[in-house]
Structure 1
């Protein structure tokens, strides 16, 4: 396919692509600040809040690889337009939803759209830009994806302060519509008929296996780990994921190329990146209710108060490359994970009376640890692979990262739910009110408002204390996970100093260009 590097519209096309990826980026985090509001307005329990967050991530993780292959085979522009259309429909359904289950379904639909758009955003760049401009274009697209994460809580908080909760979904509609119009008018169509066929069996195994695992983890605190349905779901998840691994090892052109994990550098950098996403996703799930329900900030105030973490990430993103060049990837990733572990252990010491200053301190350290560990780990994971495996390696790495995030929300959210319910004092409450109060800290505060004057203050104080205790347990587990990852990185990562190729997205773009 001939490139259109001389077409002045290419920068407009890039702008529309950036807007689309920015929307997908902040949709990963925009719901976090809305969860307490949804808990109050729709009566969503902690488990249902986990599903609202995870429905998007699970579908996204399961479909990202097949979506990229669909774009290669049937046209990247066509699949981008289709993905943005699906995302737009899911956002409309979410905005108009009247109950929790509809919101969860809408988030799953949005996950399908996001899975189609994300891998193809980079793949269309070679048809727009020549080699001399492509590095700049790739950098802009990558920055847009990253910038969406910190923007999510702030945009979500501002919308919730001025409009109803459905506005966090409705904001996506004009952005997706602009993206669709730009794709139709500005993007050329490109294909790669030689790419592997989409393996529907592997896709089904990925989605059902991951879905069963997440379901079991989320339901376990309510039903109990020994419950027959939970045990059955865990057993089914193990069987389905084992079947997926066996199938992918046997097919000639696998979607999930497991042989990449034989590269030590790729394997342990990927493990580090996945554990970092596990920690970060769990943190972003448990923090907003603490800032809103316990400390009493509004939605916008909550979004703004997450900024120290984003500030830490920005500082690390600027300073990590020279540090990697000076000290090597192993030292940088290990040190980043140690800082992340320290921040989590520090955060686990939070009490009801700690106040925001202490939270801002450990959040800043969390951002630094995240930036120094995740970015070099991802760059190194792909840098250890042969150049012709960069595309498949990137797909596997991104999929495992999303899986880490989904399991982080499910496992850490369930841990929080169990710890909160065990510690909450519901003595003297009617059975139904006690059950409702145990669903989440927001629900407990709503029950307290309806309780008698003497009981209200006691229940609210107990809810705050129980939530902070649960958050402390979660942060302790996060710290242990980060410390284990640090030890693995220090022991097993290749120790050669010098930055590996930081242009891995560009390498992927060049590969796509070579196939045109």
Structure 2
């Protein structure tokens, strides 16, 4: 009979399988966006929506998803999320227009919203403070392993099959994750968890959706366009209403009281800003590698490996280093390394080869790895176990919202800078509009019209926009590093017996890493 200790590690294997699905899917789409732009006529705004439909739904539903897991069983809802993700993947293989792909991605976002926070929320119930960094590192490594596999497998599929194969390949991975969860993962729940607040869920989804819509549509329509202004104003009103509603509830879905603990707050800020930077990098890299440098889809995936290799190496060693010297210097140092990579990348010239890109990609991966694992582990360690679902849901919501802002803000900056610089003089109106939408479309127009100067102009314009985006990424990473250096506490103090930090959301007399979930395993 398998011992309880062995069962915990087998259960971690089930979580790793679930997280592998999300890591795989996030990068397989990025490498496919240029192909979709060429084959489906998706402009930059539509590509942003293909990426952001998933992320916005993901971020908006993670809070209620965490509560559903607390109340009805985390294993049950995790399996439900995997099945919904499976449905979205199957839909993606059947549709043939940018709008329908956005819809399929939204369905996948619903499933991912259940998978991500629930996979993380069971860790405090399964592992104590000494073992939890290893568990977080294993889940982070699973996500990291999916990142390099996504572009490689996706590139190979795009070179040999139709673009819908990048969705179909999720099917076996999801089925493996479901089987692992059914047979290996113990059920945990919190019977005292509040019911899901439907109004709060609507306010969250509508508020985040309106904000991202305004940011994506702003460059094309103009920031003074009535629709853009209305969307941004509505997002402020909706999200303000969400905060005000939460203040009137004992156990709100968006429990901002969890942010009173500086450990949870500043680790969450570091994770969100780090994700914003990485999301921006992942959005701008495939068009550069495919259109500007001229590599095919598989070659693009192969050339993104340095970032993934750096991330995996750093993720493996960051937990032990944070335990030895504390998470604050590790996270701060990781953010500074990430900023240096972005600044180095911003100097990329149109005549530079891949070697320059490989260098700053490697550095960026190392910086992100040394930031994310200790930040996520320290944030989870600041939560009481009975609030693991809602707390990890809030953590992942803020992090994923950072990712959606990264794609929306940085993608909009890139689109605006590119559109202003690309020279479409002398082209017919329709061709000029297409060339101004994206660098991929500009290369297609240049090939069809026999105007090589257009492709050269598009390359220079894209590099200009990419440099601006990378400069902004570097500044954001430095801001995050300054904040963590100034405000992030050292959780090791609590484990030495010191008093709990003021405002930390734990029960009186109990440390966050000692709290036991009221719902125990039924295994």
Q: 1:458 aligns with which of 453, 462, 475?
A: 453
Distance 2:320 2:4 in 1: 35
In 2 relative to 1, CA 505–438 (structure 1 residues): closer, same or farther, beyond 3 Å?
A: farther
- In structure 2, the partner of 1:268 is 266
What residue is the counterpart of 2:469 in the other structure? 474
* Aligned pairs (5 A) from 1:216-227: 216-227=214-225
Query: Paired residue for 2:344, among 343, 346, 350?
Result: 346
Q: 1: CA distance between counterparts of 2:336 and 2:357?
A: 18
CA–CA distance in structure 1, aligned partners of residues 305 and 413 of structure 2: 25
Native 8 Å contact 1:273 1:401 kept in 2:
yes
Match of 2:410 among 403, 409, 412: 412
Aligned to 1:144: 142
Matched, 1:513 2:517: no
Deviation at 1:338, TM superposition (A): 1.6
C-alpha RMSD over aligned residues: 3.3
Contact 2:273–2:480 (Cα < 8 Å) also in 1: yes
Is the CA contact 2:291–2:439 (under 8 Å) kept in the aligned structure 1? yes
- How far the C-alpha of 1:326 sits from its partner, in A, is 4.7
Shift of 1:177: 3.2
- How much has 1:406 moved relative to structure 2? 0.5
Q: Distance in 1 between matches of 2:303 and 2:328?
A: 32
Alpha-carbon contact 2:384-2:512 (below 8 Å) kept: no
Q: Name the structure 2 match of 1:443.
A: 441
Task: Indicate the SS of the match to 1:433.
Answer: helix
Cross-structure match for 1:364: 362
Superposed CA offset, 1:139-181 (max 9, x none): 6555323422332222211221221110100111232234445
Matches within 5 A, 1:236-385: 236-384=234-382
Partner of 2:489: 494
Q: Helix, strand or coil: the match of 2:437? A: coil
Q: With structure 1 as the length reference, what TM-score do the two structures score?
A: 0.89
Q: Which residue of 2 aligns with 1:88?
A: 86
Match of 1:165 in 2: 163
Q: Which moved more, 1:150-159 or 1:42-51?
A: 150-159
Q: Which runs of 5+ in 1 are unaligned?
A: none
The separation in 2 between residues aligned to 1:505 and 1:168, in whole angstroms, is 41
**Per-residue deviation at 1:99?**
0.5
- 1:54 aligns with 52
Distance 2:298 2:492 in 1: 43
Task: Give the 3 Å change call, closer, same or farther, for CA 505–147 of structure 1 in structure 2.
Answer: farther
| CA distance in structure 2 between the partners assigned to 1:159 and 1:387 by the alignment | 42
CA contact (8 A) 1:379 1:500 kept: no
1:455-480 CA distance string (max 9 Å, x none): 52100101111111111110011011
| Aligned equivalents of 1:450, 1:412: Cα separation in 2 | 30
Q: Kindly state the Cα deviation for residue 373 of structure 1 after the two structures are TM-superposed.
A: 2.1
Q: Shift of the alpha carbon at 1:285? A: 0.2
User: d(CA) in 2 for partners of 1:40 and 1:293?
Assistant: 11
C-alpha contact 1:328 1:498 (8 A) present in aligned 2: no
Cα offset for 1:133?
10
Q: Do the aligned residues in 1 keep the contact of 2:133 with 2:377 (CA within 8 Å)?
A: no
How far the C-alpha of 1:485 sits from its partner, in A, is 1.3
Change (3 A) 1:188 1:322: closer
The structural deviation recorded for 1:505 is 12
Distance 1:198 1:98 in 2: 35
Q: Return the offset for 1:122.
A: 5.1
Could you state the TM-score of these two structures normalised by the residue count of structure 2?
0.88
Q: Is the 8 A contact 1:4 1:10 kept in 2?
A: no
Q: CA 1:509–1:66 in 2, change beyond 3 Å: closer, same or farther? A: farther
SS of 1:438's equivalent in the other structure is helix
Displacement of 1:203 after TM fit?
Answer: 0.7
**Which residue number in structure 1 is paired with residue 507 of structure 2?**
none
Name the CA shift for 1:236/1:326 in 2 (closer, same or farther; >3 Å).
Answer: same
Q: CA deviation at 1:81?
A: 3.4
Tell me the CA shift for residue 333 of structure 1: 2.0
Q: 1:78 deviation in Å? A: 3.7
Of 242-251 and 353-362, deviating more is 242-251
After TM superposition, the structure 1 = structure 2 runs for residues 155-234 of structure 1, keeping only pairs within 5 Å, are 155-181=153-179, 183=181, 191-234=189-232
Out of 391, 394, 403, the residue aligned to residue 393 of structure 1 is: 391
Give the deviation of 1:75 after TM superposition: 3.9
| 1:42-121 correspondence runs (5 A) | 42-121=40-119
